[in-house]
Amino acid sequence: MHDHQDVVHRLKIAEGHLRGIQRMVTDDAYCIDIIRQIQAVQASLNKLSGRILDEHLNSCLITAVRGDDPAERERVLKEISEVFDAATKV
């Protein structure tokens, strides 16, 4: 991953939003408002996850596929498959 600072910045923003949601729950905010905030954080994390996956596909995966080690190719492809399997179970 090349842009660690931006990823960390976005994670800190999400963390702040989660703290805000915690305060909303503590303050007994309207349920639909809480759900909307949770959905916003989930969308933000999904976007970030997609960005990190794209970076992985365009660096680690390509390196492994072009490499000479068939075991490494299989390992990286299996990881991608596992990520997609986990995403569909949510």
CATH number at residue 50: 1.20.58.1000
* Three-state secondary structure call for residue 5: helix
Predicted pLDDT at 90: 63
Residues 6+ apart with CB under 8 A from 76: 60, 61, 64, 65
Give the number of domains in the chain.
1
pLDDT in tens, 17-62: 999 999 999 999 999 999 999 999 999 999 999 999 999 989 988 8
User: What residues make up the domain containing 40?
Assistant: 4-89
Q: At what angle do helices 4-26 and 31-56 cross, to 10 degrees?
A: 160
Predicted pLDDT at 13: 96
Overall pTM > 0.75: yes
Predicted pLDDT at 43: 95
- 2, pLDDT greater than 90: no
